[in-house]
Structure 1
Amino acid sequence: MNLEVNDVVQLSLADPVFAACFMVVTDPKPWGAQGYVRVPGGGNAYYRAKTENMEFIGKAVWVQPEDVPDGV
């Protein structure tokens, strides 16, 4: 899986914390990705997920301004 910043992945049902949630990727890694799950009512829960525990969904249209890299 070749992830990029602002990609959206769905976390596996086997994930112990965010089963079936959507995560916006902020930092792709060789082992998976770091990103955030938006919390209802406001705020983000930052998380790390392994490649085998997520599936690519698409690109996020609206993201947190601090998570947009320069030049994007």
Structure 2
Amino acid sequence: MRTLLSLVHIVISVVLMMIVLAQHRKEGGFAGVFGGGTQADAGQWQRFSGLTKITVVLAALFMLTSLALALMR
């Protein structure tokens, strides 16, 4: 089970790196890096691009597999 989860974790990490590198840079600079969002941004999921949505899902899966692997030790 640990080997299968490790392989899934590696695949997710490689795909996540490729998706992040494929995204376009925004011209905003560091505007939103330190929590510049407001409550009005809460319903913004529909405005995200497909790559951004995939990035969010893959990042969540990466965190879950990392936690699972850490707890298996």
* TM-score of the two chains, using structure 2 as the length reference: 0.24
Higher RCO by CA contacts (8 Å cutoff, separation 6 or greater):
2
Q: Rg bigger for which structure?
A: 2
Give the structure with the larger strand fraction. Answer: 1
Normalized per residue, the structure richer in helix is 2
Question: What TM-score comes out, normalization by structure 1 length?
Answer: 0.24
